[in-house]
């Protein structure tokens, strides 16, 4: 049972923000949407990533619930 482990590569991770870094993995390249260079937790800034209007859809759906709660509390 020799050679049962996958090949281990020097892997380049590429983010949508343009940042790249090198690690090791079983695949030679990884593409990510958010990394530590652009994630709000690490940068301290808030940035909303809207994928196909999902944020507006969420606000439209739950905005009514929030406004109903505020009028109920008054």
Please tell me the distance from the alpha carbon of residue 14 to that of residue 20, in angstroms, as a whole number: 5
**Tokens 């994928």 map to which residue?**
51
- In tens, the pLDDT along 14-61 reads 998 899 999 999 999 999 988 888 887 777 777 666 566 777 788 888
Q: Which two tokens stand for residue 50?
A: 């809207």
Compute CA distances 44 → 39, 40, 41, 47, 49, whole Å: 8, 5, 6, 10, 15
Q: Which domains does the chain have, with CATH numbers?
A: 9-73 (4.10.80.400)
Q: What's the predicted TM-score (pTM) here?
A: 0.51
Beta bridge partners, 6, equal: none
Rounded Cα gap, residues 17 and 20, in angstroms = 9
């Amino acid at each position: 049972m020799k050679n049962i482990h996958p090949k281990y590569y020097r892997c380049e991770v590429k983010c949508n923000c343009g940042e790249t870094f090198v690690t090791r993995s079983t695949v030679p390249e990884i593409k990510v949407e958010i990394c530590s260079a652009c994630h709000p937790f690490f940068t301290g800034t808030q940035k909303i990533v809207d994928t196909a209007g999902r944020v507006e859809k969420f606000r439209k759906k739950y905005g009514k619930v929030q406004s109903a709660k505020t009028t109920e509390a008054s």
